A and B are shown apart, each in its own frame.
Chain A
């Protein structure tokens, strides 16, 4: 059974940093692209970042470029999102998601809430 479990969310002040983690199990983690998708309170889904199987390619939504870094450790079956210079508008539930071979975002974690507020 595919499982994605996020952790690391919490309350942080504007300008602060936070590192999210996602522990993957039930599939060969190193064979899949992985994504972070976020959802602001009461809002829709917004894709944040993607990373290729070996970490050689990374892509970001414009609003987080230069502030967020996606990474992975295939030996630990883990995905990460380092978030710096956080803003109030980054407040959201952050989901870790798997991208299938055919390009479908097919499995999602339960999400971790990040609140940026003073």
Chain B
């Protein structure tokens, strides 16, 4: 059972938009920055969004992040088949020293 809650799967057609939610508590999302990771099949996770809504260089602006209270959201617009992957949210838990926590992951299917 993951500390952060994500939907197991989402799907949408190419070109459409999808959002992935991540729900936590005041001890994690509520008081810490949220990151989002993309994991393509058979590969390591890759940072997509950091500090709630910032994109590392090289990440297209089709990917966006937001946070409100104890929840965060990843948005992906202009869906491409290459976006099919597992997506994870992550943050820290202030109630546990230097403990990172992750969501259970959301599998994105581009129909």
14 contacting pairs across A/B (C-beta < 8 A): A37-B100, A44-B2, A44-B88, A44-B104, A45-B102, A45-B105, A47-B99, A47-B100, A47-B102, A50-B99, A61-B99, A103-B33, A104-B33, A109-B44
Nearest residue (CB) in A for B4 is A44
Determine the main DSSP class of A at the interface with B: strand
Q: How far does the alpha carbon of A37 sit from the alpha carbon of B100 in the complex, in Å?
A: 9
**How many A residues touch the partner, as a band?**
20 to 34
Number of B interface residues in the complex (CB < 8 A): 26
Quick check: is A95 within 8 A (CB to CB) of the other chain? yes
Contact present for B100 and A111 (CB under 8 Å) = no
Q: Report A23-58 CB contacts with B as 1/0, cut-off 8 Å.
A: 000000000010101000000111100100000010
Known interface pairs A45-B45, A47-B99, A111-B44; A106-B50 also in contact (CB < 8 Å): yes
Quick check: is A88 within 8 A (CB to CB) of the other chain? no
Contact present for A104 and B35 (CB under 8 Å) = yes
Quick check: is A13 within 8 A (CB to CB) of the other chain? no
Quick check: is B103 within 8 A (CB to CB) of the other chain? yes
B72-111 residues at the A interface, CB under 8 angstroms: 88, 90, 92, 96-105
* Given pairs A50-B98, A106-B56, A111-B44, 20 additional interface contacts (CB within 8 A): A33-B98, A37-B102, A44-B102, A45-B37, A45-B102, A45-B105, A47-B99, A47-B100, A59-B97, A59-B98, A102-B50, A102-B51, A103-B32, A104-B33, A104-B50, A106-B47, A108-B45, A108-B46, A109-B44, A110-B44
Q: Report A67-101 CB contacts with B as 1/0, cut-off 8 Å.
A: 00000000000000000000000000001000010
- Give which listed residue, B92, B97, B102, contacts A46 with CB less than 8 A: B102
Q: How far does the alpha carbon of A96 sit from the alpha carbon of B43 in the complex, in Å?
A: 13
Contact present for B50 and A100 (CB under 8 Å) = yes
Q: How far is the CB of A56 from chain B (nearest CB, A)?
A: 12
B-side contacts of A103, CB under 8 Å: 32-33, 92
Q: How far does the alpha carbon of A17 sit from the alpha carbon of B51 in the complex, in Å?
A: 37
Q: How far does the alpha carbon of A89 sit from the alpha carbon of B30 in the complex, in Å?
A: 31
